[in-house]
Amino acid sequence: MTVPTLAPEGHLLIVGAGLAGYHTARGVRAHGHTGPITIIGEEHRAAYDRPALSKAYLTGAAAEEDLLLDDPEDPLDVTWVSGVGVVGLRAEPLGVHTDDGAFHTADAVVITTGASALSLPSLDSSEDRGGCAPARPYVLRNMEDALALRDTPLHGADVVVVGGGFLALESAATCVARGAGSVTVAAGEEDPGARRLGSPVARAIRSAHEARGIRFAPGARAQGLRRRPPSDGGPHYEVLLGDGGVLPADIVICAIGAEPRTEWLLDSFVRLCTQSGAVLCDDTGATSVPGVYAAGDCAQWASHSSGLRPVGHWQEAFEEAAVVAAALTGSDPVPLQEPYFWSDQFDLRIQGVGRIHLADDVTVVDGTSDGGDLLVHYSRDGVNVGILGINRLRDVTRWRRGSRIRPASAEAPGPTPVSA
């Protein structure tokens, strides 16, 4: 046990009603906190899980209530403040300002504001637009984004998906399932994911998508989006590539990453990473301001800064919430498991465990790149640091159970970082 940051009857304020925010509140309650908890969320919705937005929710197989994090029959004992944005943090007295003019005080604050989707720039001139708004692609960061795309007819449409990560590839697979006439992926590399996951995995993913009719653009990155002149007929938009290529499209989906939602902290004493803008934390989630913690996609923990752990995975946000909850209440430190991620694309379940991002060698252990059954090991300096399997649940589960779990405080010991 350690000295708690938050007294048992103290007021906890959580800014952000997503995965990390919800599970921080849940963890604090599980550790016996009896004081008030307030969760401020910008959306006019209950807290929900996001992975299905590019898959089951987008196809209509899952409804909004299927994604809810809270159990309506046993709701979490918190006060929800929905539809309100935060505009500033004050250290003394501790609290946050919201865009409705209110100031919410607290004994401790946890920042879990997540990230905003990056998008392609519009390359339209005012003449090209002909009085219309600049061309904008669809993105998939929240439920409103998913609703906009779900309500758009895709049958027979020419779709271009910009991005080579799992969100982009899941979206491409979903568009095929919804009857798109054609789907082209502009991944920015010949084989999507090769730089992150290695060539064997990237080739396997590309092979599976091509077998289902998805085309891949040359490896040049997309530079922007513009409208086609109405007189030309055919697709309404063009995605311009860095090599001069042009991809015509009726619908453009952009999944090229995200940036932390921390602009409201620029005038505060909370230290931010100068490159990403993420909140700098130690490996308990503590920031440079006493009583203020951060977790999830808006936070860069010391183990992220040192390269020991990746950023942006669902599992990372979930586990960070548990670590923060323990630190706030003075409970025993919660261990962080080996990093884990997954993706469902067509009939492929892709799962990765370990420090894959640190590997200097990728070895195919079993299966083939075109067989939908690939198993690869990742090594660094001859030591196995991770595993990835495609439809290899048993192998991945076995490796995950046998991997070493480290206490959160042991990941990257040292004081709270104060600079980028």
Q: Among the three residues 232, 256, 280, which one is the final residue of a domain in this structure?
A: 256
Inter-residue contact 196 to 357 (CB < 8 Å): yes
Pairwise CA distance, residues 62 & 53, whole Å: 9
Asked if residue 6 is part of any domain, the answer here is no
Asked if residue 105 is part of any domain, the answer here is yes
Beta strand extents in 175-273 (DSSP E only):
182-186, 215-216, 222-227, 237-241, 246-249, 251-254, 258-260
Which tens digit of pLDDT belongs to each residue from 147-190?
999 999 999 999 999 999 999 999 999 999 999 999 999 999 99
Same domain, 323 and 377: no
Same domain, 134 and 252: yes
Q: What are phi and psi of 95, to 5 degrees?
A: 170, 180
Same domain, 109 and 188: no
Pairwise CA distance, residues 12 & 37, whole Å: 5
> What is the rounded (10 degree) CA torsion for 380, 349, 154, 241?
10
Asked if residue 141 is part of any domain, the answer here is yes
Per-residue pLDDT, averaged over 94-115, amounts to 97
Same domain, 158 and 80: no
Same domain, 252 and 263: no
Q: What are phi and psi of 101, to 5 degrees?
A: 90, 0
Q: What is the DSSP letter of 333?
A: P
Q: What CATH code is carried by the domain that includes residue 382?
A: 3.30.390.30
Of all residues in the chain, the percent with pLDDT exceeding 70 is 93
Total domains, the chain: 3
Same domain, 112 and 148: no
Q: Quick one: which of 233, 236, 263 has its CA closest to 247?
A: 236
Inter-residue contact 253 to 239 (CB < 8 Å): no
How confident is the model at residue 132, as a pLDDT?
67
Asked if residue 72 is part of any domain, the answer here is yes
> What is the rounded (10 degree) CA torsion for 60, 61, 65, 68?
-110
Q: Among the three residues 256, 271, 297, which one is the final residue of a domain in this structure?
A: 256
Which tens digit of pLDDT belongs to each residue from 355-401?
999 999 999 999 998 889 999 999 999 999 999 999 999 999 999 88
Asked if residue 5 is part of any domain, the answer here is no
Residues in the chain: 420
Same domain, 252 and 139: yes
Same domain, 268 and 217: no
Same domain, 103 and 176: no
Asked if residue 298 is part of any domain, the answer here is yes
Asked if residue 3 is part of any domain, the answer here is no
State the residue range of the domain holding 264: 12-116+259-336
How confident is the model at residue 312, as a pLDDT?
82
Which tens digit of pLDDT belongs to each residue from 67-96?
999 999 999 999 999 999 999 999 999 999
Q: What CATH code is carried by the domain that includes residue 245?
A: 3.50.50.60
Q: What are phi and psi of 179, to 5 degrees?
A: 90, 25
Which tens digit of pLDDT belongs to each residue from 22-44?
999 999 999 999 999 999 999 99
Same domain, 243 and 135: yes
Pairwise CA distance, residues 384 & 376, whole Å: 11
Asked if residue 132 is part of any domain, the answer here is yes
Which tens digit of pLDDT belongs to each residue from 218-270?
989 999 999 987 666 678 899 999 999 999 999 999 999 999 999 999 999 99
Same domain, 293 and 344: no
Tell me: pLDDT of 130 over 90. no
Same domain, 134 and 236: yes
Tell me: pLDDT of 415 over 60. no
Q: Among the three residues 289, 316, 336, which one is the final residue of a domain in this structure?
A: 336
Binned at pLDDT 50, 70 and 90, residue 407 comes out as very low
